[in-house]
Chains A and B, each alone.
Chain A
């Protein structure tokens, strides 16, 4: 089976940096996605990694190590609007995304 793990909840302070980890054990690998989902809204794309290393996009960065089955999403200069659920998903084949259960991030003043 496919196994994708991420912490259930995290809390961080406005202006700080937070790292959300994701580990995976899957039968295939076509890339790893991070999505953000605010309560009651659709998930929105944040990043995609297929090669090892760090991808930076403004305040958000994502890292991948394929040999370790590990990724993280780094959020800098946290803002209140970053309070949301962060979903790690592995692409297997075609367009089938296997999602972790998501990490609920609460940003406090």
Chain B
């Protein structure tokens, strides 16, 4: 069974640009969550999707957005990139999305903003 796949693995962007990251969950998983990981703040919750609906959102500015497709694949978009957006972006998938079962994480996308 394939794990959670995130593409691309590495990305370098310039301030002011926008970026789209992709996440393919484990087959059969309908819940996809996104997290930002930085050395100073650790893992911070961005948003969670279940069956194409955003159910939860963390405390990030509106420049961070996401969506989920009917096949459960998800994308997140960051517009008007800032230097502080440099981070590892992790997505996680879960079978139930009820918060009581384990989440499986992808390897992440390392975004560097210059």
Contact = CB atoms under 8 A, between A and B. Distances in A.
Given A42-B108, A43-B105, A45-B104, A95 B98 contact: yes
Contacts of B24: none
B33 A96 contact: yes
Given A95-B31, A95-B33, A101-B42, A50 B100 contact: yes
Interface residues of A, number: 25
B45 interface: yes
Decide if the interface of chain B is mainly helix, strand, loop or mixed: strand
B112 interface: no
B49 to A, nearest CB: 9
Interface in B43-60: 43-45, 48, 50, 55-56, 58
A97 B42 contact: no
Interface residues on B, range: 20 to 34
Contacts of B55: 94-95
Interface of B: 4, 31, 33, 35, 41-45, 48, 50, 55-56, 58, 90, 92, 94, 97-108
Interface in A62-109: 87, 89, 91-102
A92 B106 CA distance: 21
A1 B21 CA distance: 28
Contact of B100 (A31, A43, A44, A100): A31
Contacts of A95: 31, 33, 48, 50, 55-56, 92, 94, 97-99, 103
A94 B50 contact: yes
B33 A42 contact: no
Contacts of A94: 31, 48, 50, 55-56, 97-99
Nearest to B57: A96
Contacts of B108: 42
B45 A98 contact: yes
Contacts of B92: 95, 97
